[in-house]
Structure 1
Amino acid sequence: MFVKRNADGLVVALSREASADCTEFVADESDEVKNFVQISDEKEAAVEDLAQSDLDMVRVVEDLVNLLIDSSVIRFTDLPSAAQQKLLNRRAMRDQMNPVDLLDNEDDFNF
């Protein structure tokens, strides 16, 4: 492996081939390479966890907006048109994924 080092001499990049940035050869089995790969894997896992958390938060924010609208704290039309369209699109996508039509449109129940 060819490595790039920072000003402190720590490995900050790896390459299988020599390049302008990665000029120093270090054995694949070296502790430096192993440590760099382990840290990179940990960072990648942290980034993936954060991305999943972002997706979860999107749903929380969407539910919060719907709650505020349902509670008449805000009106749907108070939102910018781009936000309205995004909320409508998400609602339509969710409805397509989870259709629950318990009553047929032709059913006529008198309660």
Structure 2
Amino acid sequence: MHFIERDSEGRIVRVEPAPFPESTEQSHETTAEIDEWLKVNTLRAATLQQLQQSDLEMVRVLEDLIEVLMSKGVISITDLPPAAQNKLLSRAKARQTLGGLEDLIGEEEDRLI
């Protein structure tokens, strides 16, 4: 059973296996339209997950870049806005707190911060 919500133009915007308040119709069968929506939605979810993972990885790249620039005297931490300073210092303290535990976590990258 599929519970379906459509927009004002009749396009599927949501399909769920259980009832939800915004559902406007039900289908016992998986139609070609439902199947296509499910495929697109699955691809969209996978792409979003990939971008989220990439965002997490980019945070570390940016931290390392900032550390390199600071170590070369190109910038100082005080050149950054206070909110950025606080976030960088907080993350550096958190990693320092982990100390020797980082090896147990399994991170194999070189650490610059």
Q: Same fold (TM over 0.5)?
A: yes
C-alpha spacing 1:66/1:35, structure 2 compared with 1 (3 Å):
same
The CA RMSD over aligned residues, in Å, is 2.3
Length, aligned pairs only: 99
Quote the Cα distance in structure 2 between the aligned partners of 1:18 and 1:97: 44
State yes or no: 1:67 paired with 2:94. no
- By how many angstroms is 1:41 displaced? 1.4
Quote the Cα distance in structure 2 between the aligned partners of 1:60 and 1:18: 41
State how 1:1-111 maps to structure 2 within 5 Å.
1-6=2-7, 9-15=10-16, 16-17=18-19, 19=21, 21-99=22-100
Please identify runs of 4+ aligned residues in structure 1 that moved more than 6 A. Answer: none
Quote the Cα distance in structure 1 between the aligned partners of 2:64 and 2:20: 51
Percent pairwise identity:
35
* Conservation of the 8 A alpha-carbon contact between 2:4 and 2:26: yes
For residues 42-99 of structure 1, the C-alpha deviation after alignment (integer angstroms, 9 at most, x for no partner) is: 1111111000011111111111111111111111222222222211111111122243
Quote the Cα distance in structure 2 between the aligned partners of 1:55 and 1:81: 22
* Conservation of the 8 A alpha-carbon contact between 1:3 and 1:13: yes
More relative contact order, 1 or 2 (CA 8 Å, 6+ apart): 2
Quote the Cα distance in structure 2 between the aligned partners of 1:85 and 1:18: 42
C-alpha spacing 1:54/1:36, structure 2 compared with 1 (3 Å):
same
Q: If you compute each CA radius of gyration, which structure gives the higher value, 1 or 2?
A: 1
Partner of residue 111, structure 2: none
